[in-house]
Amino acid sequence: ELKLVQKDEL
């Protein structure tokens, strides 16, 4: 299962 990187950039 791919864990998505949290998108902390704008």
Partner 1 sequence: MNLFRLAGDLSHLLAIIILLIKIWKTRSCAGLSGKSQILFALVYITRYLDLVTTYISLYNSFMKVIFISTSLATIYLMYSKFRATYDKNHDSFRIEFLIIPCVILSLVINSNFTVLEVLWTFSIYLESVAILPQLFLVSKTGEAESITSHYLFALGSYRALYILNWIYRYYAEGHYELIAIFAGCVQTILYCDFFYLYVTKVLKGKKLQLPA
Q: What is the contact surface with partner 1 in residues (CB under 8 A)?
A: 2, 4-10
CB of 7 to partner 1, least distance (A): 7
Helices first, then strands: H and E counts in the chain = 0, 0
CB of 1 to partner 1, least distance (A): 11
Residue 4 has φ and ψ, to the nearest 5°, of: -75, 140
- Residues 5 and 10: their CA atoms lie apart, in Å, by 14
CB of 4 to partner 1, least distance (A): 6
